[in-house]
Amino acid sequence: MWHIRRDRTDATEVEVRFNELAEDRTRVEIEHRGWERLGEEAASWRERNVTAWDSLLPHYRDALA
């Protein structure tokens, strides 16, 4: 469950999947769902999280390189 700066009852869900593509390659898929729990605020929270994921993921990529 994901609830940064939100009450636990408003938590969304984040699922991370690791799919082996080759012996030395793995695809990481992140699915963030459950936005409907946030009601009218869902669209703005979702947009903020897209921006956050976009800024966070390059750090993971760099660490693995």
Q: What is the pLDDT of residues 15-43, one digit of tens each?
A: 999 999 999 899 989 899 999 988 998 99
**What Cα–Cα distance (Å) separates residue 2 from each residue in 19, 20, 24?**
22, 25, 30
* pLDDT attached to residue 18: 94
**Cα 60 from Cα 45, distance rounded (Å):** 23
| pTM, full prediction | 0.68
**Cα 14 from Cα 46, distance rounded (Å):** 12
Q: Indicate whether 8 pLDDT > 90.
A: no
* pLDDT attached to residue 43: 92
The per-residue pLDDT of the chain, averaged, comes to: 87
